[in-house]
Amino acid sequence: MRFVKPGPVDGCFRAPSSKSEMQRAIAAAFLARGRSEITYHGLCEDSKAALSVVEALGASVHFAGDVLVIEGEGREPAAYLDCGESGLCLRMFAPIAALTAARGFLDRVRPAATTSAVSAANAVSAGSAPASPSSPSSATLMPANRPCSTP
């Protein structure tokens, strides 16, 4: 048996964003003009649903190493926007979708197919980031990027 004795604790780590903070960062990146980079991201199912929706709305989504890159302006939006089981995604992206030229509907039932954004997110979660293009950064969003400091 091992015992831990009282003593000073020292260290530093960066926690990933909460799922709601991450979804809001994805929405902001979609609405921003140009390229946005999100670091220290959490890739839960709700975040993957938000990535799927912004990609379906026309954004370019890829990973550059551990950095999530979203380019808000892009291709023609899809008619079907899948929010998975995320209520926040459904509530947040309904008005955003209304701002686009998309004609279709939002849903909370995930079909069998996944988008390339979700496939890339799954690869990053598994530790094998897919290759991605690189271009200059015009905006950087960093949820949970609170500098670590020790007294």
The predicted structure's pLDDT at residue 142: 33
Residue 71 has pLDDT above 80, yes or no: yes
Least confident of 10-14, 39-43, 135-139: 135-139
Query: What amino acid is encoded at 23 in this protein?
Result: Q
In this structure, the strands spanning 35-38 and 139-141 are parallel
Q: Phi-psi bin for 147: left (phi > 0), alpha (psi -120 to 50), beta?
A: beta
Instruction: Report whether 65 contacts 84 (CB < 8 A).
Output: no
CA dihedral 124, 67, 53, 133 (to 10 degrees): -90
Query: What amino acid is encoded at 9 in this protein?
Result: V
- Sign, CA dihedral 116-119-124-129, equals negative
pTM, to two decimals? 0.65
Model confidence over 86-99: pLDDT tens digits? Answer: 999 999 998 888 88
Query: What amino acid is encoded at 82 in this protein?
Result: D
Model confidence over 15-66: pLDDT tens digits? Answer: 777 889 999 999 999 999 899 999 877 789 999 999 999 998 889 999 998 8
Q: What percent of the chain has pLDDT over 70?
A: 64
Question: Which residue is it, tokens 């701002």?
Answer: 99
DSSP class of residue 69?
Answer: E
CATH superfamily for 19-132 is: Enolpyruvate transferase domain (3.65.10.10)
Instruction: Report whether 28 contacts 66 (CB < 8 A).
Output: no
